Amino acid sequence: MKFLLISDLHENIDAFKWINPLEDQVDEVLFLGDVSNCASDEKAIEILKMFKKKVYFIPGNLDMKTLPEAASEVTHSVHGKAFEINGIKFAALGGSNPTIFDTPFELSEKDIENMLDPISSEGMVLMTHAPSHGIHDKITIGLHVGSPAVKKIVEKYKPIVALSGHIHEAFGIKEKNGTLFINPGPAKEDHAAILEIKDGKASAWMVGPADL
């Protein structure tokens, strides 16, 4: 199966000019959070309606905590859930670990671990907004700001893929200890990625408007 990975749209609806055509090239769309910039649920839902497909959605730290329930009207809202797509197991959690900005959807490290652990399984695809500490989490000033709790889940369950967004400047694809870590980059700046899972093996590549 092929999945289009979108994250950190931040209300840039012009991005749909290239996102919508890319949707035709995949089976499903996974949205990794930050539809908005602290906008109302109503505004965020109007943006989510612009996808051609019904996306599998988790919120980011700049989305409202009420959005997962509200978005269930127009998406597969999977925050805090385990689910399967064509036999592929997923565990999903939105929001982020604490930041210095006191954004709307932040969770303590303890809460992140307590919410992820019961829904996780070995060999899953881990779908979070916040990255695992130490991978795709280095900000411009050089600090690593990823979640130690997400890292603990990765080390315990060894997912085949760990998806995240959140840290705009740390996008990319990296394999470590059998897990493929992917941050598709901010869609608001024309970044995305495609994940392919075939016969239990995962591969990925970055995409954007130039790939149409």
Give the Cα separation of 32 and 57 in Å (integer).
6
Q: Which bin fits 87, alpha (ψ -120 to 50), beta or left (φ > 0)?
A: left
Domain boundaries, the chain: 2-211
pLDDT tens, per residue, the chain with 212 residues: 999 999 999 999 999 999 999 999 999 999 999 999 999 999 999 999 999 999 999 999 999 999 999 999 999 999 999 999 999 999 999 999 999 999 999 999 999 999 999 999 999 999 999 999 999 999 999 999 999 999 999 999 999 999 999 999 999 999 999 999 999 999 999 999 999 999 999 999 999 998 88
Q: How far apart are CA 95 and CA 32, in angstroms?
A: 10
* The pLDDT of residue 85: 98
CATH architecture of 2-211: 4-Layer Sandwich (3.60)
Quickly list H helices, the chain: 16-23, 41-48, 67-71, 109-116, 148-157
Contact by Cβ (8 Å): 16, 210: no
| Per-residue pLDDT at 210 | 86
pLDDT at site 163: 99
**Placement of tokens 């790939």 in the chain:** 211
